[in-house]
Structure 1
Amino acid sequence: MAEILSPDETGLSRAARLLSEGQLVSFPTETVYGLGGHARDSHAVAAIYAAKGRPAFNPLIVHVPDLAAAERIAVFSDAARDLARRFWPGPLTLVLPLRPEAGISDLVTAGLDTVALRVPAHPVAQGLLRAFGGPVAAPSANPSGKISPTRACHVVEGLGGRIAGIVDGGPCSVGVESTILSLDPPMVLRPGGLASEDLEAALGQKLPTGGDAAKPNAPGQLLSHYAPGAPVRLMVRAPDPDEVWIGFGACPGAALNLSASGDTTEAAVHLFSALRAADRIATERGARGIAVAPVPETGLGRAINDRLRRAAAPRPAE
């Protein structure tokens, strides 16, 4: 099983040493727990794909401690630099032209000439990146297509026997993955922990949402993703008797509620934990599936609904 590491200097030093040896370490960010490997070590990156059972055509996000480190890896336009200064550290990933001399493994970019970059805000992630001193490729620390982890125990459940270490930094504060933005032209490739409205205000324009599930150019674009074991049905105001109901707002009788007050920020924090809990309840009850109440498409509701639609999508053949 993975070594559980404390989020202090000793634990982060051990985690950095494991990364330098080409091993995999999970660590908390403000969004979800990431599964980190040395982004310049193709053997380490291949191990990420193997541990997750992840399709090799799905790119990975590279985590760095600051804008200066990011500019050594990608070419920044003035617009990209302005966004980075405004929203980094934080839950924004930028897809930018890769510098050929950056030494990033082709497996990280899935052979594309762009790279997805993020500066996380979590102090443990920052501490690890600075202790390691290099770029860390880190998708969410869960088996591919399954529910993302927001606590160290979730990582243990999904990947504990496949990776070297897990830095336990407590629960994640945002609870959904980062928003992914490309800039040529400006487009949201994945809604996430930074509301699209904030990006639109910064750029002074409306942003379309795009991406190709068949040929992803950023993480989180596969049609079926974030899925529990039980089938998921959406926009349900009156569940069937043999469904586990996840509510939002006033939903008397719901087994779980993302936010009884109807707050999408609170709902984002609870989303993946609620899906995990509903899946356990469905198994215990022998329920047919999971039903989820409607969530508005505003603020972080866009990211929540994106994850829910992918959780409810038809599953790929095993």
Structure 2
Amino acid sequence: MQFDSNHSNQFGDLENQKETLDMAVENLRNGKLIAYPTDTLYGLGCDAFNEIAVQEIFEVKQRPLGMPLPLIIGNYDQINLVTESITTTIEKLIESFWPGPLTLIVPSGPKVPAIVGSRGWKVGVRIPDHPIPRYLSSMLGNPIVGTSANISGMSETKTVNEVVNQIGNKVEMIIKSNHKPKGMSSTILDITGSQPRILRNGYITANQIEEIFNETVIMDI
């Protein structure tokens, strides 16, 4: 799948953080957990293809097994690591909303561990509009887990201090950034069925999505 070069995997001005970010990538390779900023909230991440590290994510968040974890990719080529089902609809949504706060539920590819996805056959993925997670995933060469950096049921985190207060002693490192999160979750859109369904309201509205589909989007919340 090829995209216009305007959708490039640019990382912005991260030169002053390169040493920290490369250390974070090494931690990810070694199966460690890190907290990092995104365009929406602070994320809790690991190498999405490391099942032991993914299991630890569930433990840190006190999240029941069986609840899916969204993934973050760093560039458009990496979508092929997550799914083999690239439809025209997916391409339109990607071109319209990525990088950005729209998580697409797509059929899982064979490399995605069953523990990550929903019922083992579908998974959420997005490219965030933030250079740090894009850099981490691109340099790692794999998707990273993109769940919120909080304990399940507690408030989502938007600052380093909020992350420290909830899970600071459970992660290898917390990355700071001048690009502050918006403080609103990504919209989750399931496109695995016959009609698109919004599973979580977020920054991207139903009206914006309906303009792409030219049909009503089902609110399944």
Shorter-chain TM range is 0.7 to 0.9
Work out which structure has the larger RCO, using CA pairs closer than 8 Å and 6 or more positions apart in sequence: 2
- Structure 1 residues 21-32: aligned runs within 5 Å: 21-32=30-41
Partners of 1:91 and 1:193 within 8 A in 2: yes
Partners of 1:7 and 1:169 within 8 A in 2: no
Residue 86 (str. 1) matches residue 91 (str. 2): no
Kindly state the Cα deviation for residue 86 of structure 1 after the two structures are TM-superposed.
1.2
Partners of 2:75 and 2:138 within 8 A in 1: no
Q: Where does the alignment leave 5 or more consecutive residues of structure 1 unmatched?
A: 1-5, 212-318
| Aligned length in residues | 204
Deviations 1:96-128 (A, max 9, x none): 11122xx22211115420111111110122222
The equivalent of 2:108 in structure 1 is: 98
Cα 1:171–1:122 shift into 2, 3 Å: closer
Which has the higher mean CA deviation after the structures are superposed, 10-19 or 129-138?
129-138
The equivalent of 1:58 in structure 2 is: 67
Kindly state the Cα deviation for residue 131 of structure 1 after the two structures are TM-superposed.
2.3
Residue 72 (str. 1) matches residue 81 (str. 2): yes
Residue 179 (str. 1) matches residue 177 (str. 2): no
Amino acid in the other structure paired with 2:151: P
The equivalent of 1:47 in structure 2 is: 56
Amino acid in the other structure paired with 2:137: L
- Give the structure-2-normalised TM-score: 0.88
Deviant stretches of 4+, over 2 Å? 170-174
Partners of 1:31 and 1:176 within 8 A in 2: yes
Q: Where does the alignment leave 5 or more consecutive residues of structure 2 unmatched?
A: 1-14
- Give the structure-1-normalised TM-score: 0.62
Which whole-Å CA distance do the structure 2 matches of 1:209 and 1:135 have between them? 28
Deviations 1:76-109 (A, max 9, x none): 2111111111111100010011122xx2221111
Which whole-Å CA distance do the structure 2 matches of 1:73 and 1:124 have between them? 20
Cα 1:200–1:49 shift into 2, 3 Å: same
Kindly state the Cα deviation for residue 172 of structure 1 after the two structures are TM-superposed.
3.1
Kindly state the Cα deviation for residue 7 of structure 1 after the two structures are TM-superposed.
7.0
Amino acid in the other structure paired with 2:165: E
